[in-house]
């Protein structure tokens, strides 16, 4: 009986080991699949802006996620009249991208991080939770806009969601903005759209419940919006480089956190319009 008992225990342990190995292997393959899909998308639809940002000393691969020694770029190039132009550091071929999927509403990018993705908006918030920008099932899903938002970033605050993937992809790195040094090194995101590009200046970073009033949508300027911004900036765990200004519009970047049940880490950013759309200069 003892031999059978030992054999039984061994088989149980072996089964648990095999199951765990398969589970880990499946997750690894899922991560790699997501990485390849979005790396291919960036390679197909995104290029470095040929009009180099002023003061940019990064290598050629820096703006698309490689290492650089120039820090965050905040503008550059010249318009046809010879004036300094404030342009996004990348160019996105939205015409080709939207021919693939018309649900693409923008592209979000942060230099020297893994954040370099199209932004989708579905009919509801489940559509791109576990589907890639091609519409195929993908565990890591897409970066996607709250479906209740208007879709053109003209609401006073627009909410953008992304999974917290353990390999750092999607919004897996978002929690790093809770560290002051990381924030100081990465004070802005870029949001590109077919109509206008924006430098996203960070105004607050903190952890909150998924059911908090952080996720309130405001369609336009109001006293309630001012009160909301005062509360949200007051919750920041770091000292942000920017402050809210009158009549500005904002984004809320949101991902899962694990400090308590239903926790979320959010980054509030102020949209500052620049002189490009999809990275191409706008002729005013």
Residue 75: its pLDDT value, please? 39
In a domain, 1, yes or no: no
Q: What is the Cα–Cα distance from 152 to 38, expressed in whole angstroms?
A: 22
Let me know if residue 241 belongs to a domain.
yes
Looking at residue 264, its pLDDT comes to: 98
Residue 18 lies in a domain: no
Question: How many residues are listed for the chain in this entry?
Answer: 284
Query: Residue 233 in 3-state DSSP?
Result: helix
The structure tokens 């105004």 sit at: 203
Residues 6+ apart with CB under 8 A from 149: 121, 155, 158, 159, 217
pLDDT of residue 4: 60
SS3 268: strand
pLDDT computed for residue 33 by the predictor: 80
Radius of gyration of the chain (CA): 21
Asked whether residue 4 is domain-assigned, the answer is no
Q: Residue 104 belongs to what H/E stretch?
A: strand 104-109
Q: According to the model, what pLDDT value does residue 31 have?
A: 59
Structural domain that includes position 42: 30-281
Q: Does 13 map to a domain?
A: no
The answer to whether residue 9 is domain-embedded is no
> What CATH number did the domain enclosing 169 receive?
2.40.260.10
Q: How far is CA 96 from CA 41, 104, 194, 280, in A?
A: 11, 11, 11, 15
Helix (H, G, I), strand (E, B) or coil at 213: helix
- In this prediction, residue 283 carries a pLDDT of 80
Per the listing, tokens 């503008």 go with 75
Q: Is there a contact between 163 and 223 (Cβ–Cβ < 8 Å)?
A: no
Q: What is the pLDDT of residue 28?
A: 46
**Per-residue H/E/C for 170-189:** ECCCHHHHHCHHHHHHCCEE
DSSP states of 2-38 as a string? Answer: HHHHHHHHHHHHHHHHHHHHHHHHHHHHHHHHHHHHH
Block mean pLDDT (10 aa), the chain, length 284: 56 48 46 86 95 45 40 39 73 98 98 97 97 96 98 97 95 97 97 98 98 97 97 97 96 97 98 96 83
Compute φ and ψ for 44, nearest 5 degrees: -85, -40
Q: What is the pTM of this model?
A: 0.82
- CA-CA distance, 39 to 50, in Å (whole number)? 20
Number of domains in the chain: 1
């Amino acid at each position: 009986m003892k031999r059978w008992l030992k054999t039984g225990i061994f088989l149980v342990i072996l089964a648990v080991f095999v199951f765990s190995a398969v589970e880990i292997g499946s997750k690894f393959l899922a991560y790699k699949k997501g990485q390849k899909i979005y790396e291919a998308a960036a390679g197909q639809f995104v290029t470095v802006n040929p009009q180099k940002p002023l003061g940019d000393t990064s290598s050629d691969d820096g703006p698309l996620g490689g290492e650089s020694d120039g820090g965050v770029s905040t503008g550059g190039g010249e318009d046809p009249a010879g004036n300094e132009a404030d342009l996004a550091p990348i160019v996105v071929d939205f015409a080709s991208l939207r021919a693939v999927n018309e649900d693409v509403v923008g592209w979000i990018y942060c230099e020297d991080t893994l954040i370099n993705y199209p932004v989708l908006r579905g009919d509801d918030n489940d559509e791109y939770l576990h589907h890639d920008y091609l519409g195929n099932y993908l565990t890591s899903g897409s970066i996607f806009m709250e479906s209740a938002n208007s879709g053109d970033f003209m609401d006073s605050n627009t909410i953008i969601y992304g999974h917290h993937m353990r390999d750092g992809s999607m919004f897996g790195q978002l929690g790093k903005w809770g560290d002051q040094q990381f924030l100081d090194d990465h004070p802005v995101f870029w949001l590109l759209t077919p109509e206008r590009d924006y430098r996203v200046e960070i105004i607050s970073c903190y952890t909150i419940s998924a059911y908090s009033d952080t996720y309130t949508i405001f369609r336009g300027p109001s006293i309630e919006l001012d009160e909301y911004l005062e509360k949200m900036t007051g919750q920041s765990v770091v000292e942000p480089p920017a402050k809210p200004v009158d009549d500005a519009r904002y984004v809320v970047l949101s991902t899962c956190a694990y400090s308590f049940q239903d926790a979320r880490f959010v980054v509030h950013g102020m949209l500052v319009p620049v002189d490009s759309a999809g990275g191409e200069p706008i002729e005013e």
